[in-house]
């Protein structure tokens, strides 16, 4: 099945993955857009295909990364710092993986959903990993292996203080994945399809330790 | 002549590895417990995907994990979650179960497809997010009862039936709910796989030798 059409099939998949037991609202989302780690700033963005209506954006802090003008230097930096040391030599599954999170970047990658239905904003952290298959099992990255529609998976952490509109003071979490990331040579934007699930709930009232201590002191 | 042979060989190898893709997806639901040994998450497929009848399992290698419950729980937390704390609002821990983050081996994945008749094996990563809801950098009661998970998948070329000779890559995303204070987890996820015919042998030495000629 063509990668550009498989998301249509996923429409039938809506709501199946989401467990509602611990959530007030749950969404099965599909997104389409453009972006590349080879561009600076690193911004993946586009529109929702289903689940929510509106725009989405994922930004990755590329401080310290070489300028895209020297694409070779930039790719080599990314490769050496995120993938090269993480080689899996299991027979038949030879591959590299790279983790992009607060430990490997200057700041945690960020996501923002500007939704028109319901009207609001959801923002927070996104922590993701990318898989690069070593199809030739030789421990050497080949050109085809760099842009073979790499898989990405991620977890989302909603920041309630950044929520707006319908999502003001909304807590929650989610996870998304894609099979369309690439390191094209020469660099070009990836046409991404991302699917995932999101669970939101109204944040409980804050319990401040110092305040609680004061309350307890009243009864001593 | 040698150059021509190299071109032909490269073309053949490239074709072998980058042939026509088959997209397969399914919805999985099941249970498991990191406190059990072996650690096996498994269950069935739910309707909606290409595979509606069948089963799946993800086995997390627990070699070297303590058997005693308290020690085992601490080992899991301190090895896979605690080192991966991200400050935020809320802050959160990310549990990575893969070789990159301290596992002794990758998680074994098995998918039995009773809808189309076949079976496939592979490996996968497991990424589990735990939110620090009160931002105190301490795992409190109730903070590890539900959340989201995701992972990356490699299907190895040793499948059977309709998956005979196929290999590929994929991903999954979903959520977990724990029976707090119990440790049994229920996983719901969607998994997407891109498979291709890998029956043409790809010999490491040959490809390595070809590339070496250009280095």
pLDDT tens, per residue, chain B with 215 residues: 333 333 333 333 333 334 578 999 999 999 999 999 999 999 999 999 999 999 999 999 999 999 999 999 999 999 999 999 999 999 999 999 998 888 889 999 999 999 999 999 999 999 999 999 999 999 999 999 999 999 999 999 999 999 999 999 999 999 999 999 999 999 999 999 999 999 865 544 455 544 544 44
A85–chain B nearest CA distance, Å = 8
Would you state the pLDDT for residue A187? 87
In a domain, B116, yes or no: yes
- Cut 0.90: pTM above it: no
Q: Which residues of B touch A197 (CB under 8 A)?
A: 148, 173-175, 190
User: Could you give the 3-state DSSP secondary structure of residue B131?
Assistant: strand
**A194 at interface of B, judged by CB pairs closer than 8 A:** no
Nearest CA in chain A to B145: A22
In chain A, residues 9-68 whose CB comes closer than 8 Å to chain B: 9-10, 12-13, 16-19, 21-23
Interface contact flag, A17 B188, Cβ < 8 Å: yes
Q: What is the pLDDT of residues B153-196, one digit of tens each?
A: 999 999 999 999 999 999 999 999 999 999 999 999 999 999 99
Q: How far apart are CA B120 and CA B138, in angstroms?
A: 40
A169/A201 Cα distance (integer angstroms):
9
ipTM > 0.95?
no
Contact B167 A92 (CB under 8 A): yes
Residue A102 burial (CB count, 10 A): 20
Q: What is the DSSP letter of A206?
A: P
| A118/chain B closest Cα distance in angstroms | 22
Nearest CA in chain A to B28: A17
* Cβ pair A138:B17 closer than 8 A: no
Residue B12 forms part of a structural domain: no
DSSP strand pairing (A95-100 vs A119-133): antiparallel
Interface touch A9/B25, C-beta < 8 Å: yes
Phi, psi of B60 (to 5 degrees): -95, 120
Gap from A182 CA to chain B (nearest CA, Å) = 14
Determine the residue of chain B that is closest to A178 in CA distance: B171
> What is the nearest CA distance from A126 to chain B, expressed in angstroms?
10
Q: How far does A10 lie from chain B, in Å, by closest CA? A: 8
In a domain, B8, yes or no: no
Return the residue in A123, A135, A198 with the most chain B beta carbons within 10 A, the one to mutate for interface testing: A135
Residue B158 lies in a domain: yes
Structure-token match 């280095």, residue found: B215
Place of tokens 């891109």: B194
Per-residue pLDDT, B8: 34
Would you say residue B161 lies in a domain? yes
The pLDDT value recorded for residue A68 is: 95
Residue A195: closest CA among A151, A160, A157, A164 = A151
Instruction: Give chain B's domain count.
Output: 1
User: B 84-103 residues with CB below 8 A of A?
Assistant: 84, 86-90, 92, 94, 96, 98-101
Bridge partner residues of A117 (DSSP) = A53
Q: Which residues of chain A have pLDDT under 50?
A: 1-22, 207, 209-210, 212, 214-216, 218, 220
- State how far the Cα of B39 lies from the Cα of B183, in Å rounded to an integer: 12
Please give the pLDDT value at position A185: 78
Strand partners, B172: B151, B191
- Which residues fall within 8 angstroms of residue A25, CB to CB, at 6 or more apart? A199, A200, A201
Can you count the helices (H) and strands (E) in chain B?
3, 11
State the nearest Cα–Cα gap between A124 and chain B, in angstroms: 8
Contacts of B20 in chain A (CB under 8 A): none
pLDDT for res B16: 37
Domain carrying residue B193: 20-200
């Amino acid at each position: 099945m063509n990668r550009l059409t498989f998301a249509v099939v996923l429409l039938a998949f809506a709501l199946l993955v989401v467990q509602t037991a611990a959530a007030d609202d749950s969404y099965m989302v599909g997104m389409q857009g453009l972006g590349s780690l080879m561009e600076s700033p690193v911004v993946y963005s586009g529109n929702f295909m289903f689940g929510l209506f509106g725009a989405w954006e994922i930004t990755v802090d590329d401080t310290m990364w070489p300028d895209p003008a020297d694409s070779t230097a930039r790719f080599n930096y990314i490769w050496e710092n995120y993938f090269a040391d993480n080689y899996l030599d299991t027979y038949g599954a030879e591959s590299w993986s790279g983790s992009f999170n607060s430990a490997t970047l200057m700041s945690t990658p960020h996501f923002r959903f500007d939704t028109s239905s319901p009207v609001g904003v959801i923002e927070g952290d996104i922590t993701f990993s990318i898989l690069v298959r070593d199809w030739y099992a030789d421990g050497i990255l080949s050109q085809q292996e760099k842009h073979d529609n790499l898989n990405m998976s991620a977890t989302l952490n909603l920041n309630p203080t950044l929520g707006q509109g319908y999502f003001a003071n909304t807590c929650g979490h989610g996870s998304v994945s894609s099979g369309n990331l690439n390191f094209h040579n020469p660099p070009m934007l990836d046409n991404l399809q991302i699917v995932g699930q999101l669970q939101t709930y109204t944040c409980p009232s804050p319990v401040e330790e110092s305040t609680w201590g004061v309350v307890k002191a009243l009864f001593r | 002549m040698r150059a021509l042979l190299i071109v032909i060989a490269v073309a053949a190898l490239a074709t072998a590895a980058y042939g026509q893709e088959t997209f397969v997806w399914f919805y999985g639901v099941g249970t498991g417990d990191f406190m059990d040994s072996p650690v096996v998450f498994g269950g069935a497929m739910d309707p909606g995907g290409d595979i509606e009848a069948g089963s799946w399992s993800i086995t997390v290698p627990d070699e070297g994990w303590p058997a005693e419950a308290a020690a085992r729980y601490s080992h899991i937390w301190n090895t896979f979650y605690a080192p991966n704390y991200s400050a935020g609002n809320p802050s959160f821990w990310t549990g990575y179960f893969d070789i990159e983050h301290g596992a002794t081996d990758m998680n074994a994945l098995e998918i039995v497809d009773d809808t189309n008749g076949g079976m496939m094996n592979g490996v996968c990563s497991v990424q589990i997010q735990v939110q620090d809801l009160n931002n105190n950098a301490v795992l409190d009661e109730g903070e590890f009862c539900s959340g989201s998970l995701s992972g990356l998948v490699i299907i190895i070329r040793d499948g059977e039936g309709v998956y005979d000779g196929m290999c590929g890559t994929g991903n999954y995303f979903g959520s977990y709910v724990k029976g707090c204070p119990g440790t049994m987890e229920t996983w719901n996820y969607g998994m997407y796989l891109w498979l291709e015919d890998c029956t043409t042998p790809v010999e490491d030495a040959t490809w390595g030798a070809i590339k070496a000629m250009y280095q």
